[in-house]
Amino acid sequence: MTTKNEKIKNSPKEPVEMSGSEAMIRSLVAEGVDTIFGYPGGAIMPIYDALYDFGHHVKHVLVRHEQGAIHAAQGYARVSGKVGVCFATSGPGATNLITGIADAMIDSTPIVCITGQVTSGLLGTDAFQESDVIGISMPITKWNYQITSPEEIPEAIAKAFYIAASGRPGPVLIDITKDAQFGKLNFLYEKCTKIRSYVPEFPTDKKLLKKAADLINEAKKPYLIYGQGILLSGAEKELLSFIEKTGIPVASTLLGISALQSDHPLNMGMLGMHGNYAPNIKTNECDVLIAIGMRFDDRVTGNINTYAKQAKVIHIEIDPAEIDKNIKTDVAILGDAKHSIRLLNTLVEEKKHTLWVNEFLQAKQKEHDKVIVNDLTPTKPGLTMGEVVRLSTNLTDNKAVIVTDVGQNQMAAARYARFNQSRSWVTSGGLGTMGFGLPAAMGAKFGAPEKEVILFVGDGGIQMTIQELGTISQENLPVKIVILNNDFLGMVRQWQELFFEKRYSFTEITSPDFVKLAEAYGIPGASVSDRKDLEPAMKEMINAKGPYLLEVKIEQEDNIFPMVPAGGTVSRCLLGADEL
């Protein structure tokens, strides 16, 4: 005898008549969706009604704001490697997703957003809670589509998942009218494997690979920089094999963090405005620069007119739009990072660039002596962001998933967290979305329930989406929240200190009693400001079975260095304010 749950789980082999709303849920189940983040409303109510019968197969997480849903879906996607899914109703529900969609687009995060819409007969009439979400989201989605007939649902959803996950991943939005949800269709689902005129991945040109290999083999000072493309293509092992064969020093972008173990001897750290000293200055000293799965963002390059002008540039990238967009290349290889590195590895020679690597290590020591020592073993009484971050990763054997918000908390975590597992770093990169951290941490915990998830967030950023404490409480989700509280919008304050003569214009911020607020949601917490109390409090947080909030009151004018000033050259990476 076949149970109802078995019928739900197994997609029909022959067409079966059902409502559009049931077809929508069955389509998601057929794609392997196990978690949905969302908020119900009138225009999506039929889909929520159908979801009622699928509780054994799909976990729905009721967020407190639609922005929380999209950021949670991002966190889920980033740690799980799956497509994140979120629901919202029409009008304000749909428009509340826009920031997260834009964030997912620029950070190449695979998301499928499903929004309800007014009935098709009311489209364009300014009906109650109608908004043109297709027009609004078109510039910030990889694809979007409006369903007005139930028969369109299976094919549209299949295309949505294929497009979101293939090639360079990104967000897709499906808007579905209410009458399409109520209407009937003969449902049969087939996954999408190909779309005419859509080429998600190009075949790797072996002649160009040979040209790249020749440059690498002849190089005296080769340098490899990589981004999130390594993680998205699952190329971590290929990257490791390549650098260990060639002996080339490497550094990552902000989103590439965790693709390579932090303590690998060839891992020189992070590039960028607040990246490590050696990776920045050595960019303008290498003779061959190999860039893989990254897009030469302005936060990495600084002034492009002075960036790596002495080097032959090899760029391995899946998205043709990124080739020669910012930095002109000598060899541009279109293709998937995993496949391209694997082929390139057969062509390069086994080498050790000992003297060149030592130059990195000398620069690394310079940063250690002037910056890192002061951040990790400070002599002044106030707590630093760096020591808080490093303690947390030490206490979790570098195995925790680290999530951040945006600002000083983000840069401190990027610099001082340590990783030995892939897909254990979640942050907002290209868009720099404050408020991202708390809901993204929720999603990360659902995506990797077996891992410890620690969020670092500022006192400003957490107040943008602090209502998601309600979601964490309702789900009893064991997310560990560390608020680095300096009573300022810290990164803006740092710029005001360094470049605006300490004119702190509207960056001082008053916060609630975060511990009492957490307790109001049923979440235990503590606040520390003294160094002797930090480790016991951190251990209590990590050992807590459920969620926990730890407020750490840090030095008010604690700055993040090194720093490449905006528009400056990476050769002038400042180790302190005295170098301005």
Question: Closest by alpha carbon to 103, among 47, 49, 164, 171?
Answer: 171
- Give dist(CA 354, CA 103) in Å, integer: 40
Q: Is 261 a catalytic residue?
A: no
List for the chain the helix, strand, coil content (%; round to 5): 45, 20, 40
Whether 93 and 68 have beta carbons less than 8 Å apart is answered as no
Question: Closest by alpha carbon to 360, among 216, 255, 243?
Answer: 243
Sorted by sequence, the CB contacts under 8 Å of residue 327 that are 6+ apart come out as 291, 296, 301, 304, 307, 308, 313, 315
Q: Is 66 a catalytic residue?
A: yes
- Give dist(CA 259, CA 252) in Å, integer: 8
Whether 113 and 145 have beta carbons less than 8 Å apart is answered as no
Question: Closest by alpha carbon to 456, among 555, 381, 550?
Answer: 550
How far, in Å, are 38, 228, 436, 493, 551 from residue 510 at the CA level? 31, 36, 20, 14, 14
Which amino acid is present at 472? I
Residue 45 burial class via C-beta count within 10 angstroms: exposed 0-12, middle 13-18, buried 19 and up:
middle
How many helices and strands, by DSSP H and E, does the chain display?
Answer: 24, 20
- For the chain, the maximum distance between any two Cα atoms, rounded to a whole number of angstroms, is 77
Eight-class DSSP state of 368: I
The 10 Å CB-count burial string (b at 16+, else e) for 500-529 is: eeeeeeebebebeebbebbeebebebbbbe
Q: Is 178 a catalytic residue?
A: yes
CB atoms closer than 10 angstroms to residue 298: 15
The answer to whether the Cα torsion of 244, 246, 250, 252 is positive or negative is: negative
Beta strands in 245-338 (DSSP E): 250-252, 267-270, 288-292, 312-317, 331-334
Q: Considering 82, 142, 159, 178, which one is annotated as catalytic?
A: 178
How far, in Å, are 150, 453, 459, 465 from residue 508 at the CA level? 52, 29, 11, 19
Q: Is 18 a catalytic residue?
A: no
- Give dist(CA 391, CA 537) in Å, integer: 11
Q: Considering 31, 66, 152, 551, which one is annotated as catalytic?
A: 66
Q: Treating both helix axes as pointing N-terminal to C-terminal, what angle do 236-246 and 337-345 enclose, rounded to 10 degrees? A: 30
- Give dist(CA 478, CA 442) in Å, integer: 9
Q: Is 474 a catalytic residue?
A: no
Q: Considering 9, 45, 59, 129, which one is annotated as catalytic?
A: 129
Residue 387 burial class via C-beta count within 10 angstroms: exposed 0-12, middle 13-18, buried 19 and up:
buried
In the 3-class helix/strand/coil scheme, how is 487-531 assigned residue by residue?
CECHHHHHHHHHHCCCCCCCCECCCCCHHHHHHHCCCCEEEECCH
Whether 243 and 250 have beta carbons less than 8 Å apart is answered as yes
Whether 57 and 5 have beta carbons less than 8 Å apart is answered as yes
Catalytic residue numbers read 66, 128-129, 178, 491
